[in-house]
Amino acid sequence: MKVKSRVQIRKSDKVRLLRELKSSFGDIVDTFSDRKFETATADEIPIVMIDGEVLLFRLEDIYFPTVKGVLQLGLRKNVVVVDAGAIRFVVNGADVMCPGIVSADDSIEEGDPVIITEETHGKPLAVGIALIPGTGMQASSGKAIKSVHYVGDRLWNLDI
């Protein structure tokens, strides 16, 4: 993947983006609001670079943090924790099934962007879209999250 057409984000667009991120991921967004934001495209995927690093991307009009973005920005809201048995599936891009979920934020609504972490160390593994509310994710069957980006995929390996 190659990054094309880097452009600095206008102030009004930056304010709108930060407002959207704040509604999904909380007040932690204020800690990086003064950084330099740029937009670009990487193989038809709209991305947002913060201080020159790819930390956000857009899919279906929703902004998601990259897995590296979750680490660097310190995002801690809309988190779903999976057990050790689910890790190998999640890092290979599989959708997250309810039986593998240990815990989920109760504030998660269907369609929200979510961060998938592992139980032992709390490291982020993937980012996805909630298919069901967080309160129903610890069920005995069914699919809970559609994975959209994971450790080791094209976006993870993107060279700037």
- What CA–CA distance (Å, rounded) separates 41 from 64? 15
| b/e 91-120 (16+ beta carbons within 10 angstroms → b) | beebbbbbebbeebbeebeeebbbbbbbbe
User: Could you tell me the fold of the domain covering 3-73?
Assistant: Nuclear Transport Factor 2; Chain: A, (3.10.450)
Quick: pLDDT tens for 98-136.
999 999 999 999 999 999 999 999 999 999 999 999 999
Quick: pLDDT tens for 74-101.
999 999 999 999 999 999 999 999 999 9
Assigned superfamily of 79-150: PUA domain (2.30.130.10)
All structural domains of the chain with their residue ranges: 3-73, 79-150
